[in-house]
Amino acid sequence: MDKKIWDLLIKNGTIVNSTGSFKGDLAVRADKIVAVGQLEEGQSERVIDASGRLVMPGMIDSHAHLETGVGESKSKDTYYSGSIAAAYGGTTSFVDFAFNNEGEKPADSMKRKLKEAEGNSILDYSFHPCINSMDEESLRSIRYFLQNGFPSIKMFTVYRNSLMLEKQGIYEVLKMVAKEQGIALIHAESADMVERNIADAISAGKTQPKDHAACRPIISEIEAMYGILAMARDTKAPVIFAHMTTGESRSLLERTDGAKLFAEVCPHYLILDEEVYEREDGFNYICSPPIRGAKDREKLWKLVQDGYVQMINSDHTDYHSEQKKKYKDYFPKVPNGLPTIETRGMAFFSEAVVNRGMSVERFVELTSVNAAKLMGIYPQKGILAPGSDADVILVDPNASYTMKATDMHMQTDFCPYEGMKMTGKVEYTIVGGDILIEKGIYKETGHRGKLMKREKPLLNLVG
C-alpha cells in the first residue's frame, strides 16, 4: 500500500477565500495546508466529506477579553474555557488585551497576560499592548512591543483615571506607531461628554439600564472619532476605530484627507437595538459604547455593505447575570460587556449572509482575512492556501436552530441572542491541523495554542 502523504483530506466542499470560491478539496499535513484543488482520496490518513458544506479559513477575533477585570467584576471565562467556546463558534485564533491594572506598567500587564494564556488556550493567541500613562517607562515598553511582535496598540479616549490616555499622550503614541509601522486601536468616546452626562443622570436619579445608553449618545462617539481623525491625519499612523456603533461616521470615513482609517463593528450592534435596555434583564446588555436604535443600526449596516467596515469582531467579555444584576438599578456599577466569543461568527453569518444576501467571500473578508492582514499574521492565517496554517472551519450553511444560553459553552448564563432563530452552524473547527470541534462536539486532543509573534500590519486589504 502506498504511504499516505496527507494527514487529513477535506473532500467535496465549497472552498471559500475572500477572492473567490469553488467546489474542491483541501489537504493537510502536520499543521499546514499543503494542497487545495481536486485531490485523490487514497493519499490521506483521514478523510472528511464536506459535501454541502462551506470550507473557510478559521475566523480570527482580534477584539476579545478573557480573564479580564478585577474583584467582583472579574469575567468568568478562563483562557481554556473561553478558547473552547471560541472554537465552537469557528474562531481559530484571537487577540486579547494587556490592560494595565492599578499600579501596572505595560510590561507588567503583558507579562501577566502571557502567563495566564500560556498552556491554557487551545487556540493561537496574541495581545494588544495598552498604554494609559505618558511616563518614560510606559513609552519605552510600547516602542519595544511595536518592534517585537506586538504591532497593535490599544488606547482609550474615555475611562479617566483607569484606561484613558489623555489626548497629548495619544498624539505622541500615534507618532511612535507611524514610525514603527504599527497600528493603533482606539476606543473613541468623549470623556468630557460621557462624564458630564453620567454625573447629571445620577443627580437626577436616572440610573436604569436605559440611562446608561442615554449617557453615551452618538455625538460622544463621533466627537471623539473626529479628534482621532485629526491626529491620524497629522501623524500618518493607521488607526482602527474599535467597536464602532454608528452610521453617522460615514462622512468621517469618506473624507479622511490622507488618514489611514479602518473600522471594526461587533454583531450585537448590527442585530440588536436599544429596546434591549427596556427589558427586565436590560442590565445584561450594558456595554460601551451602548447598543443604538433600529434606525442607527440600519445606517451601520449600510456602512458594512458599502465597504467602510473592515472587521467584524466580538468584544467578548462574559459576566454572569448575577454579577450584572447586583447593580441593575445603578448602571455606573454594572460591569460592561457581552458574552459573544462563541456567537460572533454564526450570528453575523445568519444575519449578513442568509438574511441580507452578503457573499460568503465578503463574510470571510470581514471575519478572517482582513484581521489577519491588519494584525500582521497573513498569509499564515486568513487564507486557505498551500503553506498557510491549517486553521479551517466547516460550516453547514443551511442548519437552522434557536440560539440559547443553555447550548453555549461560555461560562455565563446569558446569551445576547436568546430565542433568536439562526441559520448556519459550525460543524468542524480545525486548528493547526488538529480537529478540535468534530460534528459540533469539542474533542480534547491535548492541542494547545501558540503565542503569535506578529509582523507589521498589511494595510492594503484588496485581494
Average confidence (pLDDT) over 154-183: 97
- Copy the grid coordinates of residue 28: 493537510
Q: Give the pLDDT of residue 256.
A: 78
Average confidence (pLDDT) over 369-398: 98
Average confidence (pLDDT) over 351-358: 98
Query: ∠18-24-27 over CA atoms, to 5°?
Result: 90
Domains and CATH numbers, the chain: 58-375 (3.20.20.140)
Q: Give the pLDDT of residue 463.
A: 62
CB within 8 Å of 242: residues ≥ 6 apart: 63, 154, 185, 186, 187, 188, 264, 315
Q: Give the pLDDT of residue 296.
A: 96
Cα–Cα distance, 16 to 343 (Å, whole number): 20
pLDDT at 248 over 80: yes
Q: Give the pLDDT of residue 3.
A: 75
Residue position matching grid coordinates 500615534: 174
| Burial of 343 per CB tally in 10 Å (0-12, 13-18, 19+) | buried
Please report which confidence band the pLDDT of residue 255 belongs to, taking 50, 70 and 90 as the band edges: confident
Cα–Cα distance, 313 to 380 (Å, whole number): 19
Which pTM does this prediction carry?
0.97
CB burial of 366-380 (b: ≥16 within 10 Å; e: otherwise) equals bbbbbbbbbbbbbeb
pLDDT at 1 over 50: no
pLDDT at 284 over 50: yes
Calculate the average pLDDT of the chain.
97
Q: Give the pLDDT of residue 2.
A: 62
Q: Give the pLDDT of residue 38.
A: 96
Question: Based on C-alpha coordinates, what's the Rg of the chain?
Answer: 21
Average confidence (pLDDT) over 406-431: 98
pLDDT at 82 over 90: yes
Please report which confidence band the pLDDT of residue 41 belongs to, taking 50, 70 and 90 as the band edges: confident
Q: Is the dihedral of CA 296, 361, 14, 6 positive or negative?
A: negative
Cα–Cα distance, 103 to 421 (Å, whole number): 45
Please report which confidence band the pLDDT of residue 4 belongs to, taking 50, 70 and 90 as the band edges: confident
Euclidean distance between the first and the last CA atom of the chain, given in angstroms as a whole number? 41
